[in-house]
Structure 1
């Protein structure tokens, strides 16, 4: 099981802020591909992934118990 977290517009598109996903082993890219199939309304063009609160490359391993956050672009002023 991994724990997924969605922020901003992604949270609205998913209809939830977080969920658990049955998971054995894979990479951040595998999680991203799952999300693209599950939530086609997401705009993934600039989404970054964080695993256990650290930004990662798509080849980063994701293991059961990990927390994966989908972080859309943010702007500030």
Structure 2
């Protein structure tokens, strides 16, 4: 089970801040992102989001394993 945290506009689009996905093997962050969108629907802007696994920023090619927590953090603009 991989636990996913969504922030800001991504949480609004998914209508939840937390999602869990069953995984049968180690997956890349990019694969987890695809599985997430298959489960909750298309999330606009997720391709620009920062990604953290277990509270450390990672790249899309980094691995995610059972029990990990993945956070998708969209860019924030303001002034």
The normalised TM-score by structure 1 is 0.86
3-state SS in 1 of match to 2:70: strand
The normalised TM-score by structure 2 is 0.84
* Residue segments in structure 2 that go unaligned for 5+ positions in a row: none
In structure 2, what is the Cα distance between the partners aligned to 1:21 and 1:35?
A: 7
The 5 Å alignment of 1:1-77 reads 1-23=1-23, 24-38=25-39, 39-77=41-79
* Residue segments in structure 1 that go unaligned for 5+ positions in a row: none
Q: Say what the alpha-carbon RMSD is for the aligned residues.
A: 1.5
In structure 2, what is the Cα distance between the partners aligned to 1:34 and 1:2?
A: 11
